[in-house]
A and B are shown apart, each in its own frame.
Chain A
Amino acid sequence: MSKEEFHNVLTGAVTGCHEDVEQILELYMPLIDKHSYVNGRLDEDLKQYLMIHIALQIGKFPI
């Protein structure tokens, strides 16, 4: 994803576009996965929680 594309997607996600939020989640999936490990095990519930949390909080990111 080019810098310009990223800028557009992030702006869309912050303003509430669902497809853009999905794209951001996809783009940052490795980071979400990294935070979803508890005691060396992938916690699927935690992963789900984090994804929902991002979707709800992304609107607060100051562009």
Chain B
Amino acid sequence: MNHQQESERDELRARFTGWLEVTLYRAKLNYLKKQERERNTLYVGMLPEELLVEENLEQKWVHRLTEQKGFDFEQEKLEKAFQYLTQQRQQILTLLFVEEKTPEEIAGQLGCSKQNVYKQRSQALAALRNMLEKGGEGNE
């Protein structure tokens, strides 16, 4: 009887170890699949700002990813246009989109009102958009 009990407990341990092996294996697979899915997901926050104000966002983004030449060109154009902005507007855009600070924080840092930050931001983006559109027309 005692021998039979011991054998049962051994069997229990073996059964648990087997169950745990399978559970761990499946959990690992799920984890790796989840990681892979997240790696392939493109979040809106990762897109360049100038793309968000344009129409046909998805088409243009795919186009830029596939057409390497066009992508570089656009980046260069954007960089040039950015240089034409005033120092303050450049600073505000950098703080907003690179350092990801809130308008309140920027207003405190620059010693101006929150409304001024919003105003400068929208004017700077409009100016950038305008310069990019003009540049596009000039090259065609």
Binding site for B on A (CB under 8 A): 3-4, 6-7, 10, 28, 31-32, 35, 38, 46, 49-50, 53-54, 57, 61, 63
Cα–Cα, bound, A49→B49 (Å): 35
The answer to whether A61 and B27 have CB atoms under 8 Å apart is no
CB-contact partner of B24 in A4, A38, A50, under 8 A:
A50
* Residues of A contacting B: mostly: helix
CB-contact partner of A10 in B12, B24, B27, B28, under 8 A:
B12
Binding site for A on B (CB under 8 A): 6, 9-10, 12-13, 16-17, 19-21, 23-25, 27-28, 31-32
The answer to whether B23 and A54 have CB atoms under 8 Å apart is yes
A26 to chain B minimum Cβ distance, whole angstroms, is 13
The answer to whether B9 and A35 have CB atoms under 8 Å apart is no
The answer to whether A63 and B12 have CB atoms under 8 Å apart is yes
Cα–Cα, bound, A31→B27 (Å): 13
Cα–Cα, bound, A45→B27 (Å): 13
Please, which residues of chain A bring their CB within 8 A of the CB of B20? 28, 31, 54
